[in-house]
Every structure is written in structure tokens, then in C-alpha cells.
Amino acid sequence: MPDFCSCGAQLPEDAVFCHKCGKPQREIAAAEPEAPPRAEWQTPAPDTARVYAPDTRLEAPAINFQNAVAWRVAGLVSLAASALFFLPYVNWLAAGYFSVFLYRRKTGRAVNVISGVRIGWMTGLLMFAILAVFFAGFVLMYNADGMRELFQAQFGKDPRMQQMLTMIQSVPDVLGTLLTIFLCTTFLSMAGGALGAKLAGESNPPRGGRIA
């Protein structure tokens, strides 16, 4: 560093500015402030956008009589299966299968085995209600005045029809028949629902489908 400033003033040792004219005598680099050390216990701030983001995924509704879609599907299939009364056992098993198939097509959701059994049970229960109404109506009509002789004259030569006509004259036999119909319709429909879930309910669901 020179001993004299350009203005002629004598400079003291290690002078930064001229005490007479104020001219700087050397360049000064500004020191960058150091970041304060972070304490060991201090943790990074949480990502609040990730922590508090709402879960927008919708859970699939349970299959029961409060599920409007399952109710409509079970009702439609039970009516169609009841119309095929001349194909007993087969129509009850197929009813459970097609209930799963139609529910999956209607909702776009895959159906597991448990849900398939549930919608099959709903369908079987509705089918039993329909068959029970028709069976009770037939029993009442047969026991009306003059109808028993008419049925005997029309179907007396058919052994199977004769056996059924004899059976509906006994209250225990009527109750036993209703119990048999209930067990067959519900259990076969549940089996058909489980089969439908395994074959057509779980594999390759449509886009956006979820397990019901």
C-alpha cells in the first residue's frame, strides 16, 4: 500500500481510507454471512401438502339391501329366474351368477367372492318371496270350494301332480315344502354368486373399477 494518497496526504499504516479526501486505498470484499448451525434436535419442516391432503378415493358401497344398485339387480334377476320356474335348480344357480355379472356391468366395480355370495343371497331371498306368494296362492285356491274336485279331475292321472296335490292338503307338508324352497333358492343362488365372482367378477375390472 502506498504511503501517500493521490491528494498528497501521508497515510498511516494499514489505512483503508484517506483521512483527508476519503479516497479508498484498497478494495474490500464483503464477507458473506454464515448460516447459523442447526441444532441436532431440529428436524425439517413437514410437507403439509402431503400430510394434510384429503383422501379423495371413494370406498365401494357394501352389497346389501341398502345398496340401491344391488337391490335393483337382485330384483330384476329374481323376476327373470322365477319366470323360468320350469327349470328348477338351474335357474336358481344361474340367478346368482347373473346377479354378479349385471352388478359388475352396472357399477364398473369388480366383485370378490364374499360380495358375490351376498348379492346371490339377496337374489335367492327375493326369489323365495316370489315363489312363496305363488305357492300360498295355489294352496288357497286348491282348498277353495269346488277347486279340489276340479284339480283332481284335470291332473288326477299324473302321479307327480297327484303327489303334490296330496301334499298341500297337510299343513306340515306345506311348511316343509316352503322350507325346502327357501334352502334351495338361497343356497343355490349364493353358490351361483360365488361362481360368478370367481369367473366374471374379479378378473380385469373396467377402468376405475374397485373391489366391492
What's residue 2's pLDDT?
A: 57
Q: What is the rounded distance in angstroms from the CA atom of residue 125 to the CA atom of residue 181?
A: 10
Residue 53's identity, in one-letter code, is A
What's residue 175's pLDDT?
A: 85
Residue 75's identity, in one-letter code, is G
Which three cell numbers mark 136? Answer: 300360498
List of residues 6+ apart from 7 with CB closer than 8 A = 18, 20, 21, 23
Nearest alpha carbon to residue 147 among 173, 165, 174, 171: 165
Which residues of the chain, if any, have pLDDT below 70? 1-2, 14, 17, 19, 22, 25-60, 145, 148, 151-152, 155-158, 160-163, 165-166, 201-212
What's residue 126's pLDDT?
A: 94
186 phi and psi angles, rounded to 5 deg: -75, -45
Q: What is the rounded distance in angstroms from the CA atom of residue 142 to the CA atom of residue 149?
A: 9
Nearest alpha carbon to residue 110 among 35, 200, 22: 200
159-168 long-range contacts, CB within 8 A, separation 24+:
168/138, 168/139, 168/142, 168/143
Which DSSP letter does residue 14 get?
T
What's residue 24's pLDDT?
A: 74
pTM exceeds 0.75 for this model: no
Chain segment 131-143, per-residue pLDDT in tens: 989 888 887 777 7
What's residue 52's pLDDT?
A: 46
User: What residues form DSSP beta bridges with 10?
Assistant: 4
